[in-house]
Amino acid sequence: MGQKVNPNGFRYGVTKKHNTLWYADKKDFADILLQDDKIYRFFNKFTREYLIGKVEIRRNQNGHLSVLVHSAKPGAILGQNGENINKLTQDIQKLLRNKELKLNIEVVNIKNPDLNAIILAEQIAIKLENRAPFRVAQKFAIRNAMKSGAKGIKTQVSGRLNGVDMARSEGYSEGEMKLHTLRQDVDFAMATARTTYGAIGVKVWVSKGEFLDGNGEKNVTTEKN
């Protein structure tokens, strides 16, 4: 089971917190859910430019919307004197067709981007698009993650590797990767490299150890950052 299912979805509500937090009546639920999807898709376009590793959405009862953007380049998102944040706010209001929307975008700095699966997957994809050998790209990411304190990491690329006629998958791993253990903090992400030979899929699993409380017992209510 743990080997097949998405490790993030497998752990939501157990050892991982949901990225979206709000409550809505039945009549408003579908509209708000669609808005969240549009916001996630909007920031996905800037993942590489701003090294975005996570986006969280919070709503209160007064209709105020807060978007927390976790980035390894917070200065790039903020812009000079916060000009870029204002532009992003206006773009989202335009996207949601609500110029009166109470929207606040907060930027959270990712202290260690080499432990973020999304950023690692995008970095591998960028190297593949720049015609770097797929083995070198994966081993470079693995080495950086292990140096940064990861307990284990696993990578996989799939497609026409090196331009061969038949597509195949090849991956590498180092350290521990307990996908069946729910208390294991595993981060997972996928990315796509658009090469001259076609699309190459990239998958990255990063293990950061186990969730334990002060007594060394299993703790299923707290998530590490």
β-bridge mates for residue 158, sequence order: 169, 201
181 in a structural domain = yes
Asked, for residue 223, whether it belongs to a domain, the answer is: no
At residue 183, does pLDDT exceed 60? yes
- Domain range for 149: 113-210
Q: By the 8 A CB rule, do 107 and 120 touch?
A: no
Residues 140-165 pLDDT 10s? 999 999 999 999 999 999 999 989 99
State pLDDT tens for residues 66-108.
999 999 999 999 988 888 999 999 999 999 998 888 899 999 9
The answer on 122 and 98 residing in a single domain is: no
Within a domain: 215: no
| CB neighbour list of residue 81: distance below 8 Å, 6 or more residues apart | none
Query: Does any domain span residue 219?
Result: no
Cα 179 from Cα 186, distance rounded (Å) = 7
Distance CA 9, CA 218 (A): 19
27 and 96 assigned to the same domain: yes
Do 93 and 121 belong to one domain?
Answer: no
Residues 102 and 174 in one domain: no
**β-pairing verdict for 65-71 and 103-109:** parallel
Among 128, 132, 85, 125, smallest CA distance to 105 is for: 85
3-state secondary structure of 161: helix
Give the residue from 65, 84, 109 where a domain finishes. Answer: 109
- For residue 189, which amino acid is it? A
The CATH number linked to 186 is 3.30.1140.32
Contacts 24+ apart (CB under 8 A), 158-162: 158/200, 158/201, 158/203, 159/193, 159/195, 159/197, 159/198, 159/199, 159/200, 159/201, 160/195, 160/197, 160/198, 160/200, 161/134, 161/200, 162/133, 162/134
Of 109, 126, 145, which closes a domain?
A: 109
SS3 (DSSP) at 14: coil
Q: How many domains does the chain have?
A: 2
Prediction pTM value: 0.88
